[in-house]
Chains A and B, each alone.
Chain A
Amino acid sequence: MDLKTTTISSLQKQLAAGEVKAVDVCRAALDRVERLGDLNAFITINADSTLARAEQIDEAIERGEQLPPLSGLVIAVKDNMATKGIRTTAGSKILFNYKPPYTATAIQRLEEAGALVIGKTNCDEFAMGSSTENSAYGAVKNPWDRTRVPGGSSGGSAVAVATGMAMAALGSDTGGSIRQPASLCGVIGLKPTYGRVSRFGLIAFGSSLDQIGPFANCVEDAALILRIISGRDPQDSTSSDSPVDDYVRLINTDIRGLRVGVPREYYSDGLDSEVKDSVEAALHKMEGMGAEIIDINLPHTQYAVPVYYLIATAEASANLARYDGVRYGFRAEDATTLKEMYSRTRDLGFGAEVKRRIMLGTYALSAGYYDQYYGKAQQVRSLIQRDFETAFSQCDVIATPTAPTPAFKLNEKTSDPLEMYLSDIYTITANLAGIPGLSMPCGVTSVGLPIGIQLLGKHFDEAKLLRAAHNLERGLGFSSRPL
């Protein structure tokens, strides 16, 4: 069974008709995980309990029971989301042995809908990175070219879906960590509106920016998963009670008359010419399907990277204060005072990028610099959000490249943090403004690397975003695959 080409709805039909068993789906996934182990997509595999749960689903089918909507869906979950009793490391040494006493709401909702969590995927430490090279558990490799990065920080989830190790996956996106790896690995990645999906159980990085979302091989699957994981959760006071649409039904409407905004600031210096051509061809395709292409402006785009790296690191420096060797995880030995134990635990437990960001965030919040850096960044953030409000008065969705280049080489950007930060240039604005964004494959380069197009929507207008993506997906007929 090929998980890469099986959709959730076709799996449901096959299960109900007795043509396939949930256990077979699990075995197919585990087989791929084992065969492609060199990609390093997973940190922890949950084989036995997943197979046991699959057997229960098969028994329920034999008894003729009505199945929940995601029955037998083999799903991978980024290792920065809590899974009760299953090691959750966030890609960090400091949580090397942490077994959470509870499960993240998004995962719990998937499991209640019949999904099977096959394992925890590798990621940049505490989701800080754009290449999945910052993991304490080793770098993840891109299945299209093993000498290249899969993107990050949710690189393991993107690779798992791209290679059929799982039918879908969950990632988290603080500045592009779902969309950018989706683009570099040739799959669908969706960052919902801030507040659409509960963050309860998501290990916090930048709390005003973090959002959980799905990876999938087709837009319909992403829509189905989004519907299950969305909605108010009393455990997360920032989760929204805005109604959850029937996304799967709504994506089938055509896009005649849909106004697609194209911000010229996203097509400037530093954009790879093959990426530009491929995205423009996709825009042309949408126009051919009846969409109206409109030039728009997002004038504060050039300030997004500095704003993001002040706000995200300031929030991170506060969120990561809890890792002190007292309550869970790693503790440095032979410290004689409490303060020494804190400082040594944190220096030995965190990797270089995490320390760099804690330092930057602490600096931005420190006495004498708060107004100059953090306060200023919050004000410019307002201006970036206003840019989007103005733009969305002229269009329904915005289309841009997801990343300025296709997958880059392993180690290419690790020595220059600023260079790495700039690979998020097109994705971070959506997190700053809180709007939903999706990346989908729109072509491959001359050397066979996938290219992604990003679609952005208004707050809580995932339905229109997914509808545009579903139509474009059918129009493009992207069917290239790695391995």
Chain B
Amino acid sequence: MPITRADVQKIAELARLELTAEETELFTEQLSSIIQHIEKLSEVDTEAVPPMSHCNDVEGDPEYAKREDTVTPSLGQKLALENAPDSGDGYFKVPRVIGG
């Protein structure tokens, strides 16, 4: 199924990417050809095949990823803000969200 310009614009909106007109054009063509290659999967019979989402064979071990619920120091406000493009008064600063 070919991907249209409108599909690409919708996906870009979902992915929060403000694509240029040239990028939209290029991705329409490239994603169509990639999707066409991917369609090959439809020929595989997967009736009754379970999906595999990870490689850890820990299904039978519910304790595997558990740990004691202990309080440990966190990053802290100063370090957390150190890489921020804009911050002030201990907060991340962003363009106005409501009103204005």
- CA gap between A350 and B83 in the complex, in Å: 18
Q: Do A366 and B20 touch across chains, with their CB atoms under 8 A apart? A: no
Q: Do A195 and B97 touch across chains, with their CB atoms under 8 A apart? A: no
Residues of B within 8 A of A317 (CB): 15
Q: How many A-B residue pairs have CB under 8 A?
A: 164
Within 8 A of A (CB), among B46-100: 46, 49-57, 64-65, 67, 75, 79-80, 82-86, 92, 94-97
- Nearest chain-A residue to B10 (Cβ)? A366
A126 contacts partner chain B, Cβ-Cβ < 8 Å? no
Residues of A within 8 A of B35 (CB): 360, 363
A328 contacts partner chain B, Cβ-Cβ < 8 Å? yes
Task: From the candidates B52, B65, B79, B97, name the one contacting A385 in the complex (CB within 8 A).
Answer: B52
- CA gap between A321 and B79 in the complex, in Å: 21
Q: Do B83 and A376 touch across chains, with their CB atoms under 8 A apart? A: no
A215: min CB distance to chain B, Å: 22
- CA gap between A152 and B12 in the complex, in Å: 27
Q: Do B17 and A433 touch across chains, with their CB atoms under 8 A apart? A: no
Q: Do A300 and B17 touch across chains, with their CB atoms under 8 A apart? A: no
A417 contacts partner chain B, Cβ-Cβ < 8 Å? yes
> Given A327-B84, A329-B85, A337-B96, A417–B34 Cβ distance below 8 Å?
yes
Residues of A within 8 A of B3 (CB): 363
Q: Do B97 and A338 touch across chains, with their CB atoms under 8 A apart? A: yes
Q: Do B15 and A358 touch across chains, with their CB atoms under 8 A apart? A: yes
Within 8 A of B (CB), among A339-389: 339-344, 346-347, 350, 352, 355-356, 358-360, 362-363, 366, 373, 375-383, 385
A307: min CB distance to chain B, Å: 7
- CA gap between A427 and B68 in the complex, in Å: 38
- CA gap between A330 and B8 in the complex, in Å: 25
- CA gap between A294 and B67 in the complex, in Å: 44
Q: Do A433 and B55 touch across chains, with their CB atoms under 8 A apart? A: yes
A234 contacts partner chain B, Cβ-Cβ < 8 Å? yes
Q: Do A347 and B41 touch across chains, with their CB atoms under 8 A apart? A: no
B6 contacts partner chain A, Cβ-Cβ < 8 Å? no
B62: min CB distance to chain A, Å: 13
Q: Do A336 and B44 touch across chains, with their CB atoms under 8 A apart? A: no
Q: Do B44 and A303 touch across chains, with their CB atoms under 8 A apart? A: yes
Q: Do A363 and B11 touch across chains, with their CB atoms under 8 A apart? A: yes
- CA gap between A328 and B80 in the complex, in Å: 9
Q: Do B46 and A379 touch across chains, with their CB atoms under 8 A apart? A: yes
- CA gap between A97 and B46 in the complex, in Å: 46
Q: Select the residue from B3, B53, B65, B92 with max chain A CB neighbours within 10 A.
A: B53
A244: min CB distance to chain B, Å: 17
A93: min CB distance to chain B, Å: 13
Residues of B within 8 A of A341 (CB): 94-95
Q: Do B30 and A378 touch across chains, with their CB atoms under 8 A apart? A: no
Task: From the candidates A101, A335, A377, A378, name the one contacting B75 in the complex (CB within 8 A).
Answer: A101
Residues of B within 8 A of A339 (CB): 16
Residues of B within 8 A of A421 (CB): 34
Q: Do B8 and A343 touch across chains, with their CB atoms under 8 A apart? A: no
Task: From the candidates B7, B54, B94, name the one contacting A326 in the complex (CB within 8 A).
Answer: B94
A237 contacts partner chain B, Cβ-Cβ < 8 Å? yes
Q: Do A208 and B96 touch across chains, with their CB atoms under 8 A apart? A: no
Q: Do A373 and B38 touch across chains, with their CB atoms under 8 A apart? A: yes
> Given A336-B95, A338-B97, A373-B38, A99–B82 Cβ distance below 8 Å?
yes
Q: Do A418 and B51 touch across chains, with their CB atoms under 8 A apart? A: no
Q: Do B15 and A362 touch across chains, with their CB atoms under 8 A apart? A: yes
Q: Do B56 and A338 touch across chains, with their CB atoms under 8 A apart? A: no
Q: Do B49 and A234 touch across chains, with their CB atoms under 8 A apart? A: no
Residues of B within 8 A of A9 (CB): none
Q: Do A359 and B79 touch across chains, with their CB atoms under 8 A apart? A: no
Residues of A within 8 A of B64 (CB): 237
- CA gap between A302 and B44 in the complex, in Å: 11
B23 contacts partner chain A, Cβ-Cβ < 8 Å? yes
- Nearest chain-B residue to A209 (Cβ)? B55
Q: Do B20 and A347 touch across chains, with their CB atoms under 8 A apart? A: yes
> Given A234-B67, A343-B18, A362-B11, A101–B55 Cβ distance below 8 Å?
no
- Nearest chain-B residue to A333 (Cβ)? B85
Q: Mark A301-338, 1 if CB is under 8 A from B, else 0.
A: 01101110110000001000100111111110001111
Residues of A within 8 A of B17 (CB): 343, 346-347, 350, 355, 358-359
B51: min CB distance to chain A, Å: 3
Beyond A302-B40, A347-B23, A376-B44, 12 extra complex contacts between A and B, CB < 8 Å: A208-B55, A303-B44, A329-B83, A331-B85, A340-B95, A355-B23, A359-B17, A377-B41, A379-B46, A379-B50, A417-B30, A434-B55
Please name 9 pairs of A and B residues whose Cβ atoms are closer than 8 Å in the assembled complex, sorted by A. Answer: A310-B38, A324-B16, A325-B85, A329-B83, A352-B23, A355-B17, A359-B8, A363-B3, A377-B41
Interface residues of B (CB under 8 A from A): 3, 7-8, 11-12, 14-20, 23, 26-27, 30-31, 33-35, 37-38, 40-42, 44, 46, 49-57, 64-65, 67, 75, 79-80, 82-86, 92, 94-97
Which 6 residue pairs are nearest across A and B when measured between Cβ atoms? A434-B55, A378-B51, A328-B83, A331-B85, A343-B18, A379-B46
